Amino acid sequence: MPRVIVIGSSNRDFTVRLERLPRIGETVSGGEFYTSFGGKGANQALAAHKAGAEVILVAKVGRDENGDAMLRHLEESGLSTDRMIRDEHAPSGVALIMVNKDGANMIAVAPGANRNLTAEEIVNNTDAIARARVLLIQLEVPLDCVQRALAIAREHSVTTILNPAPVRQLPRDLLSLVDILTPNEVEAGMLTGDTVTEVRDALSAAHRLLDAGVKHVIVTLGEKGSLWVTRGQERFFPPCRVTPVDSTAAGDAFNGALACALAHGRPIQEAIRFANAAGAVTVTRRGAQSALPAREEIEQLLRSNQGEPC
């Protein structure tokens, strides 16, 4: 089975569903509370696994109750925890999530052990990176870890996907190691200094990122779809038609499914359609990892949208 290696975060999520999101200084009561498992690294690893790839996850959790629960959950979900690292001092990462009735969300993260991942620990996993077809990484771990992982992948001709979330300014020497960059519209705007609200804005931002050294840029635009840009080519992908419930893990589903499809050797445009459908299925359900779709569900949505935008 094609192999994807994911390097990133693993968190315990604490979520409240509300009629509407509070404004600054406001308390909104009447919400439903539940706990689940998240972190962009773990979410994307599980998304790639459920979409049909063999996945290795490298992440760091605390030696605490939340860390124990996360490892149990990953194992029960079918992921190996052999490459997971325990931090003897920092607590496991947690995320506080609020979701409104339309599925829009606000998220705050206390990274804990995630921010203690080291470049040396990345080097210790060189063998796993070298054996993968695709490396998928985000920005919830230290930037030197991201750059070291991308460099190792480049040395071994492994396709690299960087999901630049949470967004921060990135040096050109790091961007030059990225085969595929997958910002959403907010992240694309913050990376380039542009305001990105429409497809034409995303196109302009994508070209700026190509100029910085990235090979392919895929800007995810939520309910508007997604835009792929590379040198000499561009294509807009309309959204799949679904009724949204919770958008918490839509981006993670997209990235995991994209990595899976590319690891299977699908052409990039076909892989983007597959990823779009994965994100669309995810928003129809509550939660993060619990909402991620199986491969059959993704393919079913693509079949049901034949002749329709998706």
Q: Measure CA 247 to chain center.
A: 12
CB 161 within 8 A of CB 137: yes
What DSSP assignment string belongs to the chain?
--EEEEE---EEEEEEE-SSPPPTT------EEEEEEE-HHHHHHHHHHHHT-EEEEE-EEESSHHHHHHHHHHHHTT---TT-EEESSSPPEEEEEEE-TTS-EEEEEE-GGGGG--HHHHHTTHHHHHH-SEEEE-SSS-HHHHHHHHHHHHHTT-EEEE---S-----HHHHTT-SEE--BHHHHHHHHT----SHHHHHHHHHHHHHTT-SEEEEE-GGG-EEEEETTEEEEEPPP----S--TTHHHHHHHHHHHHHHTT--HHHHHHHHHHHHHHHTTSSSSGGGPPPHHHHHHHHHHTTTS--
Residue among 87, 179, 246, 252 flagged as catalytic: 252
Please confirm, yes or no, whether 252 is among the known catalytic residues.
Answer: yes
Show which residues are catalytic.
252
